Amino acid sequence: MILLELFATLVIAYSFGFLYYGLYRNITARFQLRFGPPVYQSFMDSIKFFLKKDTTNHGWMFYLGPIIMMSGAIMTLFFIPLFTTGNDFKGLSEYGNLFLVLYLLVLGPLGNALAVGAGGNPFGAMGITRGLTRLFALEMPFYIAVIALMSLNSSADITTIASSQTTFNAFAYPLLFVGALFSFVGMMGQSPFDVVGAPVEVYSGPASEFSGKFLALLMSQSAIFTFAKLVLMVHLFLGGASGFVELTIKTFILFFFIIAFGAIYGRFKTPQSVDFLLKVPTAISVVGLLLATWSA
């Protein structure tokens, strides 16, 4: 039964991820006063790429990278429960907590770096360099906010943190939420922190050399990872969800805000991105941590 549940969770994440990616392309297009592709276009593209053959060979590490990224996305998803009530779709959350999830979040960028380093494409190398430069600054505000929530709830269990919210943590601890939200915008690859795959500057960055099945694998892991990160934010700051309807509404509201934020603001340069993340959201998270600890 647990294997069937994990497979169903993976299908749900895959479907929601590509649905949201299609909506992202359409909503962004509307912000820019143009028409976007059909909502299902990204899903159809991934299927088409899975059926294509690769024409290049950069060695085994180049192809192992996407597999590492996909493994990180799937394992992250499995250790995050979809619902905070009942016994359904808990995944492997009883065997791991937030510390493990935070560790798995880093697995994707590291797998990406290993693959792109073997490919030798200069655009990919520049994108990876930008991503690794930004990584520490991007995670700092988020980690501070998450550590604060674990301390306040005396638990690193995601379900415990989500179910203990009589008032959403986003409202009870607004500074922690704002600090984590800045990081989350970058984690979702949105402006002003989308320096890794900036199309105008580094073509498509780390994805430049990938094609065929491995490009489809990158698209699929991105869709799954997107859904997993949205669910995690909903559990940490928006009280979790007790069913699919509530989960869909909350994840979509959060997703729409991220899209709107990215569509409005222009892209930072890499040093500007790091400097801003280390100063503004990190300071906000630290102040939020101090106030939350003091009030508790």
Higher pLDDT, 13 or 194: 13
**Which pLDDT value is given to residue 130?**
81
**Which pLDDT value is given to residue 81?**
94
| pLDDT over 80 at 200, yes or no | no
At residue 31 the predicted structure's pLDDT band, cuts being 50, 70 and 90, is confident
Mean pLDDT, to the nearest integer, of 183-199?
Answer: 83
> 147-177: per-residue pLDDT in tens?
999 999 999 999 999 999 988 999 999 999 9
Mean pLDDT, to the nearest integer, of 66-94?
Answer: 89
Residues 190 and 175: their CA atoms lie apart, in Å, by: 21
Local structure of residue 208 (DSSP, 8 states):
T
Average pLDDT over the chain reads 87
In the chain, the percentage of residues whose pLDDT exceeds 90 is: 44
Local structure of residue 268 (DSSP, 8 states):
P
Which of these ranges, 33-42, 55-64, 223-232, has the smallest mean pLDDT? 55-64
- The full DSSP string for 14-49 is HHHHHHHHHHHHHHHHHHTTS----TTHHHHHHHHH
Asked if 159 contacts 94 with a C-beta cutoff of 8 angstroms, the reply is no
> 217-276: per-residue pLDDT in tens?
888 998 999 999 999 999 999 999 989 999 999 999 999 999 888 888 888 888 898 999
**Which pLDDT value is given to residue 296?**
67
Higher pLDDT, 135 or 235: 235
Residues 192 and 197: their CA atoms lie apart, in Å, by: 12
Cβ density class 157-174: b for 16+ within 10 Å, e for less: bbbebbbbbeebbbeebb
Neighbours of 38 (CB within 10 A): 11
Higher pLDDT, 130 or 276: 276
SS3 per residue for 81-147:
CCCCCCCCCCCCHHHCCHHHHHHHHCHHHHHHHHHHHHHCCHHHHHHHHHHHHHHHHHHHHHHHHHH
Mean pLDDT, to the nearest integer, of 131-149?
Answer: 89
Mean pLDDT, to the nearest integer, of 73-98?
Answer: 89
| pLDDT over 90 at 286, yes or no | yes
Which of these ranges, 43-47, 53-57, 114-118, 142-146, has the smallest mean pLDDT? 53-57
